[in-house]
Amino acid sequence: MSKEERKNEGKNQYSIIIPTYNERLNIALIVYLIFKHLRDVDFEIIVVDDGSPDGTQDIVKQLQQVYGEDRVVGTAYIHGLKHASGNFVVIMDADLSHHPKYLPSFIKKQLETGASIVTGTRYVKGGGVHGWNLMRKLTSRGANVLAHTFLWPGVSDLTGSFRLYKKSVLEDIITSVVSKGYVFQMEMIVRASRKGYRIEEVPITFVDRVFGSSKLGGSEIVEYLKGLAYLLVTT
């Protein structure tokens, strides 16, 4: 690490936001792994749970006993990022498809380049996916080519949701985003790109453990195309 990076790193705090729904076991595992991989980093974990029926919030309370209430925060809704006290925000999934072991590489990339956003990409060498069948890969690749043809987004993985943002940048973009779901992720990165924010990528691996759930049926494809058309015209 350079002297500049070390100087900058000392003052940074990272707020890691993890939305959950019925992730009783996974949230405990992911909190453990984050603490394991970010030993010398000033961070807090914000679990956003809207009252999952499986008692995820109870587990969060147990985790607070182990790690401290200042390091693990539970909240029912994100409410304009008010709960995040860091100057950087990481957003990741709770189901372990996003592995905390990549967090240091996100942080390092940001410190090296001063980027406003660092996004994880599954589609480059060093990254990858496990647990997808051929059909899933086909639709993913097709969607990617389509999006690149029409949107010229400047990133290789548009729908990825493992990202590090400068908090000020996140707050700036999120106000103009109206989509939901994975189109939300696309809209965020495309709007950031249009506004001229510097976006860097790091390879990540994505292990999809949700076997059998068809996340890409006909209606999802239609939704995607509508999202793409919307982004084409409004960004």
What residues line the site for another protein (CB under 8 A)? 24-25, 28-29, 32-33, 54, 58-59, 62-63, 65-66, 96, 99, 122-131, 134, 137-138, 141-142, 144-146, 149-152, 194, 205, 207, 209, 232-235
Least spacing, CB of residue 219 vs another protein, in Å = 22
Q: Which is nearer to another protein, 40 or 233 (CB)?
A: 233
Cβ atoms of residues 30 and 100 within 8 Å:
yes
Least spacing, CB of residue 55 vs another protein, in Å = 9
Which residue do the tokens 């729908």 mark? 159
Token pair recorded at residue 4: 């500049």
List of residues 6+ apart from 154 with CB closer than 8 A = 193, 199
Q: Which is nearer to another protein, 12 or 235 (CB)?
A: 235
Count of H helices and E strands in the chain?
8, 9
Instruction: Give dist(CA 174, CA 218) in Å, integer.
Output: 28
Token pair recorded at residue 154: 């400047």
Q: Which is nearer to another protein, 96 or 169 (CB)?
A: 96
Instruction: Give dist(CA 59, CA 176) in Å, integer.
Output: 34
Q: Which is nearer to another protein, 28 or 81 (CB)?
A: 28
Least spacing, CB of residue 142 vs another protein, in Å = 5
Least spacing, CB of residue 88 vs another protein, in Å = 24
Least spacing, CB of residue 209 vs another protein, in Å = 8
Q: Which is nearer to another protein, 75 or 235 (CB)?
A: 235
Cβ atoms of residues 191 and 235 within 8 Å:
yes
Which residue do the tokens 């200042």 mark? 70
Instruction: Give dist(CA 140, CA 136) in Å, integer.
Output: 6
Q: Which is nearer to another protein, 82 or 125 (CB)?
A: 125
List of residues 6+ apart from 217 with CB closer than 8 A = none
Least spacing, CB of residue 62 vs another protein, in Å = 4
Using DSSP's 3-state secondary structure scheme, residue 48 falls into: strand
